[in-house]
Amino acid sequence: MRIVILDGYTENPGDLSWDALEALGELTVYDRTPADQIAARMTGADAVYTNKTPITAADMDAAPTVRFIGVLATGYNIVDAAAAKERGIPVCNIPTYGTSAVAQFTFALLLELCHHVAHHAAEVQRGQWQARGDFCFWDYPLIELKDKTMGLIGFGRIGQAVGNIAKAFGMNVAAYDAHVSAPESVTLDELLSGSDVISLHCPLLPDTQNIINADSIAKMKDGVIIINTSRGPLIDESALREALVSGKVYAAAMDVVSKEPIEPGNPLLGLPRCLITPHIAWAPKESRQRLMDIAVDNLKGFIKGSPQNVVNP
């Protein structure tokens, strides 16, 4: 079996091993694949893995030997899954590897917005503590989370994990998910109007694209905090910028944006109360090793005739 990885660098920049995949066949790993080389690199392969390199119907037609497509991520919109199904190719994703990592990172962002730890630590190094003359100082409002409401749009594995952490901080939890019913469930309008913090954990679908927009922001509390560790296009970034500038939204933290890597003209750049991190919530080594293990198991299952985590059954 010939196995090709089109863009392996972000999953394994050198601190993990591809040995388990190499044990299953002849493995070729490309760090990145330009659009004009996708079909050529797929040609002759039996199994192809991609993270963010798109695979189209035309690419599949140019590489008719491909019998398995693995996605090194949870989201699989970069693969034309319907076209793959028509050609009898299962597309398998990695649905559960990053739950703890993303939930942890969500609170890393929230706590930074509440306490500005990095800023205040830097100010100490600059000599500002000594210069102030008091036993303490702070440059930003400091926010306590207890008794505030965390609104979770999306209440799958990650949303529920974030909810559990929120409860440990003494927060109330409200959740909106069209496919999940739970004691925390409320309508979307109730979540928007009642939450002090709104955190996004839903997939990118036609009905969730731009779910945060001018209209939904208008329904929120004044001074709300918005966090997105899910998918960038869930937010109308121009509308969020206007709300941050006006103060309707107190602060926002994004680990994802509409186009990645971020473009110089992204409307969220340059705002003082908007944290943007480079899509790293998923990336602790432990999480990436879990992803690697599941990716290997997906191919093993296919070889045995029992593919798992198939998104185009």
CATH class name, domain 99-276: alpha beta
Rounded CA gap, 259 and 203, in Å? Answer: 16
The token pair that represents 2 in the structure block: 């010939």
Backbone angles phi, psi at 172, to 5 degrees: -85, 150
pLDDT tens per residue, range 114-159:
999 999 999 999 999 999 999 999 999 999 999 999 999 999 999 9
pLDDT mean over 159-176:
98
In whole angstroms, give the CA distance from residue 298 to residue 179. Answer: 26
The average pLDDT across 224-234 equals 98
What is the percent of the chain where pLDDT is above 70?
A: 100
What is the maximal distance between C-alpha atoms in the chain?
A: 73
The residue type at 129? W
Bridge-partner residues for 17, per DSSP? Answer: none
Distance CA 113, CA 197 (A): 11
Q: Which CATH architecture has domain 2-97+285-303?
A: 3-Layer(aba) Sandwich (3.40)
Tally of residues, the chain: 313
Positions marked catalytic: 231, 260, 279
Beta bridge partners of 50: 71
Domain spans, the chain:
2-97+285-303, 99-276
The per-residue pLDDT for 178 is 94
Distance CA 105, CA 225 (A): 15
Q: Determine the pLDDT at residue 173.
A: 98
Show contacts of 167-173: CB within 8 Å, 24+ apart.
Answer: 169/145, 170/145, 170/146, 171/145, 171/146, 171/147, 171/197, 172/147, 172/148, 173/149
CA 247, 248, 251, 252 torsion-angle sign: negative
Q: Please determine whether the domains at 2-97+285-303 and 99-276 fall in the same fold group of CATH.
A: yes
